[in-house]
């Protein structure tokens, strides 16, 4: 077989990078649009008859419904991606996500149709979640399989940058809404604008993916019959795989911190501690802007130091800084600038820093036979509990205790899980992505001498 046909030009690599970046931006634009909406206004629009605390819990529960759908979507579309290709599945996922995000902006409210309003919201969140469950894993898989060795970390950080762009865009839109509109206008119609605005990103992302070439690694392993069509992605084998659980642990640590800091903490500051809404929205917007430096820097460092060491350092830092940073964030005695600075620090370390490493590490830890499936399910299994239900549990525990200490305890626990997973994983930097076996299983058969890349 002539391998030249599997080569990709710089133009192809750029197109794949922009495609992954846009898809991830759209996913996290929805993530932040909904999370801030749920924390700041949805409790009044869709759950107005409840107490403030219960309405926030219900809004977070609706948020969690999308994460239940995500793991189903990860299984369905992940298997499709390993069988029919990354490109086709990524077109499906971006379309599902984009349409549902936009439709949230035209939903009737509880005041207009009663209980059917939150029911429709949950329905759209479920459909959107099905597509989102495979979106970022597919984009991460595609870009990792495009990128050359020695540059995978920095190139794959573009997918993580998409999360930053989505978070920044959504937070900026909400900040403008809060600044430009009074409360009456915001609740009457202003909350719709952020969701309707996402249609611009959706249209461009769909167009780009129509012109995207398939992953060269996927084509190579199929043409060389390393991954025959009859090969099965055995679910049972996946759940006994050490690599799968290590990847899930890495995801659990990052996703849990993300759900607490980006989603729950914003609502807690405003609804429970009565802070000005501008404090969490402006802090997350500034933090996302700083992430344009944090994310590629960590991607670059992981190309030189390996994937394990940065993971270990970031998780230890999150554990050490959790108490001092949160104690500042929740204390109204501090000036808003100091509170925002503390929130920015913990967000960049415990959320953005870890996410900069996540996509390339998980792509390299899995083998070519079922990379898309296992990466998608491990991401969403961690996300389902940590992000889907973490904010909900935080709301319940904080309401029961009347304290912010449950937030602290959960951040420390999430970071400890990520730290343990990083200690136990093999080094996977620059691993041959055409190898069928997962990294931990292959390392167990062939004890490493030096870096993991020497084993390939």
CATH number at residue 115: 1.20.1250.20
217 lies in a domain?
yes
248 lies in a domain?
yes
Choose the most confident range, by mean pLDDT, from 75-89, 181-195, 255-269, 295-309: 295-309
Strand, coil or helix: 151: coil
Quick one: what percent of the chain has pLDDT higher than 90? 27
Say how many domains are in the chain: 1
Q: Which domain holds residue 348?
A: 10-455
Mean pLDDT, to the nearest integer, of 244-255? 93
389 lies in a domain?
yes
Mean pLDDT, to the nearest integer, of 423-452? 80
Q: What is the DSSP letter of 370?
A: S
Q: Is the pLDDT of residue 2 over 50?
A: no
46 lies in a domain?
yes
Per-residue pLDDT reduced to its tens digit, 47-80: 666 566 666 566 666 666 677 788 899 999 999 9
* Averaged pLDDT of the chain: 83
Q: What share of the chain is helix, strand, coil (3-state, %, to 5)?
A: 80, 0, 20
1 lies in a domain?
no
Q: Is the pLDDT of residue 225 over 60?
A: no
CA distance 150 to 302: 10
Q: Is the pLDDT of residue 451 over 50?
A: no
Q: Is the pLDDT of residue 313 over 70?
A: yes
Q: Is the pLDDT of residue 128 over 90?
A: no
Q: Are the C-beta atoms of 349 and 314 separated by less than 8 Å?
A: yes
Q: Is the pLDDT of residue 4 over 70?
A: no
Long-range contacts of 6-12 (CB under 8 A, 24+ apart): 6/216, 6/217, 6/219, 6/220, 6/223, 7/216, 8/146, 8/213, 8/216, 12/146, 12/213
4 lies in a domain?
no
Per-residue pLDDT reduced to its tens digit, 147-166: 888 999 998 888 788 877 88
397 lies in a domain?
yes
Strand, coil or helix: 138: helix
pLDDT at residue 1, as a whole number: 43
The H or E element spanning position 261 is none
Angle at 98 between CA 96 and CA 101, to 5 degrees: 105
Q: Is the pLDDT of residue 363 over 90?
A: yes
pLDDT at residue 419, as a whole number: 96
If phi > 0 it is left, if psi is from -120 to 50 it is alpha, else beta; for residue 225 that is left
Quick one: what percent of the chain has pLDDT higher than 70? 88
3 lies in a domain?
no
Choose the most confident range, by mean pLDDT, from 198-212, 254-268, 364-378: 364-378
Per-residue pLDDT reduced to its tens digit, 166-186: 877 887 888 888 788 888 888
Angle at 428 between CA 427 and CA 431, to 5 degrees: 140
pLDDT at residue 64, as a whole number: 62
CA distance 186 to 118: 18
Sign of the alpha-carbon dihedral angle for 143, 147, 150, 151:
negative
Q: Which residue has the tokens 């794959």?
A: 156
CA distance 73 to 130: 4
């Amino acid at each position: 077989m002539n391998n030249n046909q599997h080569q990709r030009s710089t133009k192809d690599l750029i197109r794949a990078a922009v495609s992954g970046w846009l898809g991830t931006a759209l996913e996290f634009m929805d993530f932040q649009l909904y999370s801030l909406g749920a924390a700041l206004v949805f409790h009044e629009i869709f759950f107005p008859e409840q107490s403030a605390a219960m309405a926030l819990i219900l809004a977070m529960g609706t948020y969690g419904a999308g994460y239940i759908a995500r793991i189903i979507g990860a299984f369905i579309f992940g298997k499709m991606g390993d069988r029919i290709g990354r490109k086709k599945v990524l077109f499906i996922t971006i379309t599902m996500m984009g349409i549902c995000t936009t439709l949230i902006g035209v939903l009737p409210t509880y005041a207009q149709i009663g209980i059917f309003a939150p029911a429709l919201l949950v329905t759209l969140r479920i459909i959107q979640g099905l597509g989102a469950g495979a979106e970022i894993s597919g984009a991460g898989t595609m870009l990792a399989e495009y990128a050359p060795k020695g540059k995978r970390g920095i190139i794959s950080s573009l997918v993580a940058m998409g999360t930053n762009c989505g978070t920044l865009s959504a937070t900026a839109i909400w900040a403008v809404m809060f600044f430009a509109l009074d409360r009456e206008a915001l609740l009457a119609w202003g909350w719709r604008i952020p969701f309707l605005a996402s249609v611009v990103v959706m249209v461009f992302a769909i167009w780009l993916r129509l012109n995207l070439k398939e992953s060269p690694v996927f084509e190579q392993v199929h043409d060389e019959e390393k991954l025959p069509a009859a090969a099965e992605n055995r679910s049972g084998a996946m759940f006994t795989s050490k690599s799968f659980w290590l990847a899930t642990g890495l995801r659990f640590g990052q996703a849990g911190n993300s759900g607490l800091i980006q989603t729950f903490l914003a609502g807690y500051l405003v609804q429970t501690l009565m802070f000005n809404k501008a404090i969490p929205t402006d802090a997350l917007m500034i933090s996302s802007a700083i992430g344009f430096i944090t994310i590629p820097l960590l991607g670059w460092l992981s190309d030189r130091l390996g994937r394990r060491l940065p993971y270990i350092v970031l998780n230890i830092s999150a554990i050490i800084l959790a108490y001092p940073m949160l104690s500042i964030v929740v204390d109204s005695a501090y000036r808003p600038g100091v509170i925002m600075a503390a929130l920015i620090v913990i967000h960049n370390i415990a959320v953005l820093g870890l996410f900069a490493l996540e996509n390339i590490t998980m792509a390299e830890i899995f083998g070519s036979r079922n990379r898309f499936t296992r990466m998608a399910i491990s991401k969403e299994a961690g996300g389902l509990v940590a992000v889907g239900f973490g904010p909900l549990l935080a709301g319940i525990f904080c309401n029961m205790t009347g304290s912010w200490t449950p937030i602290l305890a959960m951040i420390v626990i999430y970071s400890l899980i990520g730290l343990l997973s990083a200690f136990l994983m093999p080094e996977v930097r620059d691993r041959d992505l055409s190898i069928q076996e997962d990294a931990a299983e292959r390392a167990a058969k062939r004890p490493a001498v030096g870096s993991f890349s020497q084993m390939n």
